Amino acid sequence: MTLDADPIDEKLRVGIIGTGIGSLLHFPAFKLNPYFEPVKIAGLDKDRTKLIAKGLKSSYTNNWETIIKDPEIDVVSIATPPALHEEMVIAAVENEKYVLCEKPLSNNYTSAQKMTDVVEESGIPSMINFEFRYIPSRAYLVELLKSKYVGDLHQVHIKINSNYRMNPRKQGYNWWSDASAGGGMLSGLGSHYIDLLCNIFENIDKVSGKLFTNYAKRFNKSTGRMRKVTSDDAFSCRIEIDDQIQCTMNLSSTIGFENGTLIEFHGNEGSLVIRDEVLTGGKIGESDHLTAIPMPAALSKYPVQDHPLVSPMSALLDDFAKGIFGGVSPHPNFQDGMKVEHIIDALRKSSKSGKWISID
């Protein structure tokens, strides 16, 4: 497909690698967006992949390299565990495919640097799927913060209490349980909130954190036995920004009675708070309580789908399409993914050493 083609008359053809979030999120998000057409999905399990592809009305393959080398495919969307990203990203770039890579970019900073270098040297438009940036409440939060709604920031607090991994038999052993695969709460969900900070602040000074594994073993369906977990299911950290902004982050997936997501930004002129995607705010001296802030209609272009992240991802894909036709890599791009991985690595080091780690 030529870059000057009309994206409505000739959609970009997409091959998706991964049948987990690839089928639940990537495929429907590409399908919803008018610039793309998902045409093939790749998965390792032959029977499962065939069944999923049938439900999606898509062609399929059990070899991801088939998608990479298919001349009929324009875009490769990588939705596999992070440890697999490097080989796939580099192969896609070598075959001159546009790349959308699921977050986090990798399971370590060195690999993230290597991928970023390869992508940037190629000049091929690519993005990282930090779709949380496009949730309306969060997109508007960032816009208001950058317009100094709260004045000069001095405190940021992020707290998530979830029961997502509460039951070690029901939520059994998978790649999320394996640190070497890139699994865990810090990598899987924390990466989104680190990206939120990177989207607002130019520099992160230093971090201090602790990773926790509240359930040391999880049920492995393939063996019928409990298997040792090597990743975290909760973490807590402190982050210093510009030598003056205090940030705390506490995320857990093993809370019996979850009470959702709380994001707070406090400054010398006011506060902005998101609780379960409802944005509230208040100006000091103008009100004694926080009130709901209406969302601009432009931030909700796509209707809410069964999976709550399909619409935000489709909004991200609008920017991806613009980048492809403009020959650039819009934010969030591989540089953004590398920055997040740098901070994740620093938090892992801090958890092991008990020390503050500077972000160079």
Average pLDDT over residues 290-297: 97
Q: In the prediction, which pLDDT does 2 show?
A: 42
The answer, yes or no, to whether residue 55 has pLDDT greater than 50, is: yes
120 and 167 part of one domain: no
- For residue 282, being part of any structural domain is answered with yes
For the chain, what is the mean pLDDT? 96
103 and 238 part of one domain: no
- For residue 323, being part of any structural domain is answered with yes
Q: What span, in angstroms and rounded, lies between the C-alpha atoms of 111 and 131?
A: 22
Q: In the prediction, which pLDDT does 78 show?
A: 98
- For residue 228, being part of any structural domain is answered with yes
215 and 94 part of one domain: no
- For residue 337, being part of any structural domain is answered with no
103 and 219 part of one domain: no
269 and 192 part of one domain: yes
Average pLDDT over residues 236-263: 94
Q: What is the pLDDT confidence band of residue 8, given thresholds at 50, 70 and 90?
A: low
> Residue 215 is part of which domain span?
136-287
Q: Tell me what percent of the residues of the chain surpass a pLDDT of 70.
A: 98
247 and 169 part of one domain: yes
Instruction: Select from 39, 340, 347, 52 the least CA-distant residue to 201.
Output: 340
Q: In the prediction, which pLDDT does 243 show?
A: 86
Q: What span, in angstroms and rounded, lies between the C-alpha atoms of 77 and 129?
A: 9
Average pLDDT over residues 106-125: 98
Q: State the CATH number of the domain containing residue 76.
A: 3.40.50.720
Q: In the prediction, which pLDDT does 10 show?
A: 86
Strand partners, 235: 211, 251
223 and 146 part of one domain: yes
- For residue 341, being part of any structural domain is answered with no
Average pLDDT over residues 245-250: 97
105 and 183 part of one domain: no
273 and 202 part of one domain: yes
Q: In the prediction, which pLDDT does 287 show?
A: 87
152 and 235 part of one domain: yes
- For residue 70, being part of any structural domain is answered with yes
Average pLDDT over residues 30-36: 98
Q: In the prediction, which pLDDT does 3 show?
A: 40
Average pLDDT over residues 137-162: 97
Q: Tell me what percent of the residues of the chain surpass a pLDDT of 90.
A: 94
Q: State the CATH number of the domain containing residue 181.
A: 3.30.360.10
Average pLDDT over residues 21-38: 98
Distances (CA, A) of 111 to 90, 116, 127, 338: 11, 9, 16, 9
**Which of 230, 255, 287 is the last residue in one of the domains?**
287
Instruction: Select from 166, 158, 150, 154 the least CA-distant residue to 191.
Output: 158
- For residue 268, being part of any structural domain is answered with yes
Q: What is the pLDDT confidence band of residue 1, given thresholds at 50, 70 and 90?
A: very low
143 and 259 part of one domain: yes
Q: In the prediction, which pLDDT does 249 show?
A: 98
Tens digit of each residue's pLDDT (9 = 90 or more) over 77-99: 999 999 999 999 999 999 999 99
78 and 103 part of one domain: yes
Strand partners, 208: 238
- For residue 297, being part of any structural domain is answered with no
- Count of domains forming the chain: 2
CB 196 within 8 A of CB 261: no
Classify each residue of 187-222 as buried b or exposed e, where b means 16 or more C-beta atoms within 10 Å of its C-beta: bbbbbbbbbbbbbbbeebebbbbebebbbebbbeee
